Amino acid sequence: MTPLSSESATILPDSAPQIFAIANQKGGVGKTTTAINLATALAAVGEKVLLIDLDPQGNASTSLGISRSERSPGSYEFLLGLSPLADCVRTSQIPDLAVIPAATSLAGAEIELIDMDRREHRLVDALGSGEVRARWTTILIDCPPSLGLVTLNALVAVDAVLVPLQAEFLALEGIGALGTTIDRISKRLNPKLHIAGVVLTMVDRRMTLSQQVEADVRAHYGDLVFGTTIPRNVRIAEAPSHGLPVLIYDNACAGSQAYILLASEFIRRRRIAAEQKAHHEPAS
């Protein structure tokens, strides 16, 4: 097994981005898989991680073994401010990984938010007290496959976005809309919002198409693309039905190794981003 990075979150500068949305309005591109395995790998190297499942399908909650009967109050109540944080958070089987699970009730939020005050700021308000940032070193938000109000709430609340892209034909199709949305939100509602990185998933290096897509994505996004790519790996697909992240289900498989490397790269990139920010914005 690749040794885990010993770099610890506790020595991250204050300026380090801390809350991340994992977003792509396309379904089936590896958002949830990336969310749970990055969360698990970060928890394994000593970070305190909170994963918020913002997809009414609740795949992240299922993949972490949280049964349907244990999901309320969860992200629906948290988002709408109906229940306090303490009631919405669950522990998981992974030490230092806490979860706010999603129940099917979350599907209603998309409509209910329309008529609410501060409809784009509900998650900001819920996360706002400072308690969340003080208690967890990394907060990952698994977004639904749409650019509706629930995803908008996530993009307004986070510091940065991770975009998983499936290495297949038309991978870049539709991503333009996400980029436009991020630009718009960063101008109007959340100036710090930026893309922290693009992660290529389900890569099959034996296929010319997969190589071509990877080359196109790197040409388009440049350094934003993580050097680490996630291979197509059957153990990754099997793990959710056991209610386990693949890192726990089979930590020696190629998929797990890739997510461990991704977590190391994530930590490294985050530190560099924080140092650059500190350099450009010296403390007054």
Ligand X SMILES: Nc1ncnc2c1ncn2[C@@H]1O[C@H](COP(=O)(O)OP(=O)(O)O)[C@@H](O)[C@H]1O
- Does residue 89 contact residue 100 with C-beta atoms inside 8 Å? yes
Which residue in the block uniquely carries the two structure tokens 């007054």?
Answer: 284
Verify binding: residue 210, Mg ion, rule CB under 5 A: no
From the list ligand X, Mg ion, none, partner contacted by residue 240 (C-beta under 5 to 8 A by kind): ligand X
Residue 13 binds to ligand X (criterion: CB under 6 A): no
Nearer to Mg ion, 62 or 228 (CB): 62
Site string for Mg ion, 55-84 (x = CB under 5 A): ----x-------------------------
Q: Which string of x and - marks every residue 112-151 that binds ligand X (by CB under 6 A)?
A: ---------------------------------x------
Q: Which is nearer to ligand X, 17 or 144 (CB)?
A: 144
Among 19, 230, 253, 260, which residue sits at the site for ligand X (rule: CB under 6 A)?
230
> 110-123: string of b/e by CB count within 10 Å (b at 16+)?
eebbeeeeeebbbb
The gap between the terminal CA atoms of the chain, to the nearest Å, is 45
Question: Segment contacting Mg ion (CB under 5 A): 27-35, 63-71, 82-90, 93-101?
Answer: 27-35
Beta carbon of residue 59, minimum distance to Mg ion (angstroms, whole number): 5
Q: Which does 236 bind (CB under 5 to 8 A by kind): Mg ion, ligand X, none?
A: ligand X
By a kind-dependent CB cut-off of 5 to 8 A, residue 243 interacts, out of ligand X, Mg ion, none, with none
Under rule CB under 6 A, residue 30 binds ligand X: yes
- Residue 232 near Mg ion by CB under 5 A: no
Q: HEC states along the chain?
A: CCCCCCCCHHHCCCCCCCEEEECCCCCCCCHHHHHHHHHHHHHHCCCCEEEEECCCCCHHHHHCCCCHHHCCCCHHHHHHCCCCHHHHCEECCCCCEEEECCCCCHHHHHHHHHHCCCCCCHHHHHHCCCHHHHHCCEEEEECCCCCCHHHHHHHHHCCEEEEEEECCCCCCCCHHHHHHHHHHHHHHCCCCCEEEEEEEECECCCCHHHHHHHHHHHHHHHHHECCCCCECCHHHHHHHHHCCCHHHHCCCCHHHHHHHHHHHHHHHHHHHHHHHHHHHCCCC
Q: Does 269 bind Mg ion (CB under 5 A)?
A: no
Nearest CB to ligand X, comparing residues 78 and 259: 259
Tell me the residue nearest to Mg ion as measured from the CB: 32
Residue with tokens 């948290």: 78
- Within residues 149-208, the interface with ligand X by CB under 6 A covers 201-202
Residue 56 binds to ligand X (criterion: CB under 6 A): no
Choose among ligand X, Mg ion, none what residue 230 binds, the Cβ cut-off being 5 to 8 Å by kind: ligand X
Q: Under the rule (CB under 6 A), what is the footprint of ligand X?
A: 27-33, 59, 145, 201-202, 230, 232-233, 236-237, 240, 255
Q: Under the rule (CB under 5 A), what is the footprint of Mg ion?
A: 31-32, 59
